[in-house]
Structure 1
Amino acid sequence: MSFKEIKNMLRMINIDMNDIYAYRLFKECDRSNNDRLEEHEIEEFCTRLMERPELEEIFHRYSGEDCVLSAEELREFLHDQGEEATTQRATDIIQTYELNERARQHNLMMLDGFMMYLLSSAGNILSQAHTEIYQDMSQPLCHYFISSSHNTYLTDNQIGGASSTEAYIRALMKGCRCVELDCWEGSNGEPIIYHGHTLTSKILFRDVIVSIRDYAFKHSSYPLILSLENHCGLEQQSIMARHMKSILGDMLLTQPLDGDVPKQLPSPEQLKWKILVKGKKLPDGKSDLDRVNFIPNPEEESISSLQEIKPLQAKDAIQISRELSDVVVYCRAVPFQSLSSALRNQQSNEMSSFSERKARKLIKESGNQFVRYNARHLSRIYPQGLKVNSSNYSPQEMWNAGCQLVALNFQTPGAEMDLNDGRFSVNGRCGYVLKPAFLRNTQSSFDPETPGRRAGQRPVALTIKLYWLFMARVKAV
């Protein structure tokens, strides 16, 4: 297997890994030095991939020279961890997690069983009560952080990577509740999805919608938002709308729940099992024949301006077909003018998108206003288009301002995606997490740039001691 084939294998079994680390491990296992791993080398790669030296260190510390944990030794470990430390508790753990039947019969635990225990939900720092839906799901959509993906169709970088419906499936099965569809004119009258003006491969819009239909609610029953970046002409826009209606059927929301746009957005509970479309919408009373043009806002669009990429064409100043406009209900994309203007005039069903650079500028210059804006309206943040390797920004600074749809490249593992996974590991991993009360208040005094200035509140410093890692380091010293 080549390194590329190894990477594909890891993706198939849902292992995201830093490319530099993976390649280093690949080269270390390539004993024949031919840039391919043979059978025994693949086995070594997988074995080393699963190694947890810090857990092995703990095991050997308590098991002694015989490298087997007795119930009494496991009880000692539980005591040191501040857990329920009885011989019966230790026995129950052995009987539940030990893989070797003979060891179980003698009430003993080997290394594999010990690791199985520590890596199970029993060893998870997350409260088990939070693995189910426990938050209030009846508040407006804008009151929740919403797990969001950028360039969802990509399996690799945004210049020459492959596009695949599988990428949508992976994101949805991770609890993602907002996926992006970059839609372009295709041959034979069928719209396509890819990263425009680049070498990324193309997939049919219709095939993506079929995958979304099949997987939209397998992991979460709460609403899914389709963020359309539309570069199609009127005819193929209408085809997009027809595909969504015919394939998604009743799942697609095409009318306000109560027949009219309310003063505030509906809740995730009200929108259960529904798919919402985010896109531009014709003004009331206008038809596509009225030639209403929408000029792309450079702060909204995520197209790179690298020399290798063609400049925007005149047709990128697009018109909107009535059919496509009609499927946009609660997520109407509008150009952003200013926070003061938006707070005065923007309706509840209107939202804007911001590049990470623009969002940081708003946070720095008008942090409190941005918090108040996000208490009323949805906002979507996306990575800078010039990031050739599809790297991510830190989502935390955007969440601190109450931004809901903080879109990341799910195909790019790293600390940023780890933060995202942590944020959405609670509330049943449903993709919706209720924002703190001070980020839901339209009169909030909170400013993410100066958190200590909020009346009656002060920042709290949280110190965490990682005892396991600490013990391993002490011995190494």
Structure 2
Amino acid sequence: LTEDEDVRAMLRGSRLRKIRSRTWQQERLYRLQEDGLSVWFQRRVQRAPSKHIWRGPACRCGFLSAHTWIHSYLHRADSDQDSKMSFKEIKSLLRMVNVDMNDMYAYRLFKECDHSNNERLEGAEIEEFLRQLLKRPELEEIFHHYSGEDRVLSAPELLEFLEDQGEDGATLARAQQLIQMHELNETAKQHELMTLDGFMMYLLSPEGAALDEAHTRVFQDMSQPLAHYFISSSHNTYLTDSQIGGLSSTEAYVRAFAQGCRCVELDCWEGPGGEPVIYHGHTLTSKILFRDVVQAVHDHAFTLSPYPVILSLENHCGLEQQAAMARHLRTILGDMLVTQALDSQSPEELPSPEQLKGRVLVKGKKLPTHRSEDDRAVSDLEEEEEEEEEEEEAEATEQRRLAKQISPELSALAVYCQATRLRTLPPTPGVPQPCQVSSFSERKAKKFIREAGNSFVRHNARQLTRVYPLGLRMNSANYSPQEMWNAGCQMVALNFQTPGYEMDLNAGRFLVNGQCGYILKPACLRQPDTTFDPECPGTPRTTLTIQKALATLLSGHAGSVVWF
């Protein structure tokens, strides 16, 4: 071919005009490389001598084909080399390409692509999974803006992107370093170029995060009362799927703790052999032993965060198995379990997360001072159950309205989180009870916000509130937590097993402060005499300025948010 006059002319190079738009046109020197497969061009601006691989209809360089780089990773992740990918192998692949994805979301995507329904992806199923996984049109738009028709970023073009974002220390050397760190295609990397896939890997990596690096560690004041914090909270924590017929598993608790959850739910029912079990009552969900869940709490509650864990008990057990529950909590958790107040005085405010590091709190019913003759006290139904009866379950029977008894053994463990019903706002005047916790369905919480917003905020400045999804959400769907946070509700419980926009909001809320599961509420939600009303926020407001690329990333994700 080198004897061909046209090829020799291409090897010598020609000056061509590069046109991006009507207003952007630049002359470039283009020259065919000796490999006969790629084109080199020289910029005529001083700062940007670089090499580009030309992307055109006759290009045979290969690395610009979508996702061809992934095949080497597929081969490495395919542990048994059968050309089929189990979910375990898919997770290994995600780690290789630096994709940090929620296991539940990844598995749901895996199942959607498993058309053969054999728990394996192969051929076109793998390609579909990768397309769905890497589909980010908002990133493509940013990439194409800076790369132009070449569809690859040179180091100077990447530097231009970094400078536009106001990144500190943006230099050509930094851009070159990012290419070497995140570009997945070796040919592109050798030419100091970044493909779209490499660009996405960069933006989705810690180096591309919009989060202040200082906030990846605990930086907030952790010495204020518990009521002054948003607390990452899970609903029906034991479930891995639907609340009608899904699987219950201790692994679900492990996953919740791994996501920074600090309040988990235990639905406790009578089990065989005197052993209480956990499952979603009156459904086909599987059952797990209460003691196994407590063991999971002991083993995994503080692997990610040292701050206190709250066990929200929904108690449906009789006195004997309640005593068994108390026994398991004491023997398995030992010194982790809070069994008495930190001081002998009646607390005027809740202790702080710092004071309760490494401790487990039980949220449950507390026996009143007045007891019956057999030293047992008659208590109302668990407030969650009653709420569902009154607001959600029209078919509830009279039997379910019967009062339940609370054993003194279990009552003794409700120290700082004593479950109490709150019927109206503002509550009956009297001495504040900081250790009393109220639970509401999302419907009742919204009613309080709508009808008594400021009173609800003031209440939540002193006492803990837990909000949970309506029982009518049979598919374990979630509500938006933002409205509840705006009212100062601390424990806004979501179905962690259900990925989606709501869980993304939750993940974003608790991403900062070291992902410790506690976020200090804004001052207007902590002051006992605050005038803030979430329905009428008023002024002043904080103006949030978002730079162009980040705004593109966030576009289409606006919700009902009050920015503090």
CA contact (8 A) 2:142 2:549 kept: no
CA distance in 1, matches of 2:375, 2:146: 77
Question: Which of residues 439, 442, 447 in structure 2 aligns to 1:356?
Answer: 442
Q: Could you report, residue by residue, the CA deviation over 1:215-246 in whole angstroms, capped at 9, with x for unpaired residues?
A: 10001000000000001011100100111111
CA RMSD of superposed structures (Å): 3.2
CA distance in 1, matches of 2:331, 2:345: 24
CA distance in 2, matches of 1:470, 1:314: 52
Q: CA deviation at 1:104?
A: 4.4
* Residue matched to 2:467: 381
- What's the TM-score once normalised by structure 2's chain length? 0.74
Task: Report the 3-state secondary structure (helix = DSSP H, G, I; strand = E; otherwise coil) of the residue aligned with 1:277.
Answer: strand
Question: Which of residues 459, 465, 468 in structure 1 aligns to 2:541?
Answer: 459
* Residue matched to 2:208: 123
CA distance in 1, matches of 2:373, 2:356: 29
Question: Which of residues 335, 338, 351 in structure 2 aligns to 1:253?
Answer: 338
CA contact (8 A) 2:383 2:420 kept: no
Deviates more, 1:295-304 or 1:238-247: 295-304
Q: CA deviation at 1:414?
A: 1.7
Deviates more, 1:414-423 or 1:189-198: 414-423
Equivalent residue letter for 1:46: F
Q: CA deviation at 1:358?
A: 1.2
Mapped pair 1:188 → 2:257: no
CA contact (8 A) 1:299 1:358 kept: no
CA distance in 2, matches of 1:394, 1:374: 19
CA distance in 2, matches of 1:419, 1:439: 19
Equivalent residue letter for 1:14: N
Q: CA deviation at 1:464?
A: 4.4
* Residue matched to 2:231: 146
CA distance in 2, matches of 1:407, 1:214: 22
CA distance in 1, matches of 2:550, 2:261: 32
- What's the TM-score once normalised by structure 1's chain length? 0.86
Question: Which of residues 399, 407, 414 in structure 2 aligns to 1:313?
Answer: 399
Mapped pair 1:371 → 2:453: no
Equivalent residue letter for 1:133: V
Q: CA deviation at 1:259?
A: 2.7
* Residue matched to 2:127: 44
* Residue matched to 1:277: 362
Q: CA deviation at 1:58?
A: 4.2
Equivalent residue letter for 1:70: S
CA distance in 2, matches of 1:9, 1:312: 50
Mapped pair 1:179 → 2:282: no
Task: Report the 3-state secondary structure (helix = DSSP H, G, I; strand = E; otherwise coil) of the residue aligned with 2:134.
Answer: coil
* Residue matched to 2:30: none
Q: CA deviation at 1:117?
A: 1.4
* Residue matched to 1:428: 514
Q: Could you report, residue by residue, the CA deviation over 1:115-135 in whole angstroms, capped at 9, with x for unpaired residues?
A: 221111121111111111111
Equivalent residue letter for 2:349: Q
Equivalent residue letter for 1:262: P
* Residue matched to 2:241: 156
Q: Could you report, residue by residue, the CA deviation over 1:157-192 in whole angstroms, capped at 9, with x for unpaired residues?
A: 211111111111111110011000000000011000
Task: Report the 3-state secondary structure (helix = DSSP H, G, I; strand = E; otherwise coil) of the residue aligned with 1:329.
Answer: coil
CA contact (8 A) 1:300 1:353 kept: no
* Residue matched to 1:296: 381
Equivalent residue letter for 2:130: T
Question: Which of residues 58, 76, 84 in structure 1 aligns to 2:160?
Answer: 76
Aligned pairs (5 A) from 1:391-410: 391-410=477-496
* Residue matched to 2:53: none
Task: Report the 3-state secondary structure (helix = DSSP H, G, I; strand = E; otherwise coil) of the residue aligned with 2:475.
Answer: coil
Q: 1:192 to 1:359 in 2, by over 3 A?
A: same
* Residue matched to 2:13: none
Q: CA deviation at 1:344?
A: 2.2
Equivalent residue letter for 2:102: N
Equivalent residue letter for 2:171: T
The answer for unaligned runs of 5 or more in structure 2 is: 1-85, 95-100, 556-564
Q: 1:425 to 1:351 in 2, by over 3 A?
A: same
Q: CA deviation at 1:410?
A: 0.9
Equivalent residue letter for 2:133: M
CA distance in 2, matches of 1:444, 1:350: 21
Aligned pairs (5 A) from 1:23-34: 26=113, 30=115
CA contact (8 A) 1:330 1:349 kept: yes
Question: Which of residues 148, 168, 174 in structure 2 aligns to 1:89?
Answer: 174
Q: Could you report, residue by residue, the CA deviation over 1:391-414 in whole angstroms, capped at 9, with x for unpaired residues?
A: 111111111111111111111112
Equivalent residue letter for 1:52: K
CA distance in 2, matches of 1:192, 1:90: 56
Q: 1:7 to 1:450 in 2, by over 3 A?
A: farther
Q: CA deviation at 1:467?
A: 3.5
- Identical amino acids, percent of aligned pairs: 59
Q: Could you report, residue by residue, the CA deviation over 1:18-62 in whole angstroms, capped at 9, with x for unpaired residues?
A: 999877x63xx85xxx56665213321332133234334544554
CA contact (8 A) 1:180 1:228 kept: yes
CA contact (8 A) 1:18 1:414 kept: no
Q: CA deviation at 1:437?
A: 0.8
Task: Report the 3-state secondary structure (helix = DSSP H, G, I; strand = E; otherwise coil) of the residue aligned with 2:310.
Answer: strand
Equivalent residue letter for 1:166: E
Q: 1:186 to 1:416 in 2, by over 3 A?
A: same
The count of aligned residue pairs is: 457
CA contact (8 A) 2:439 2:465 kept: yes
Q: CA deviation at 1:73?
A: 2.7
* Residue matched to 1:238: 323
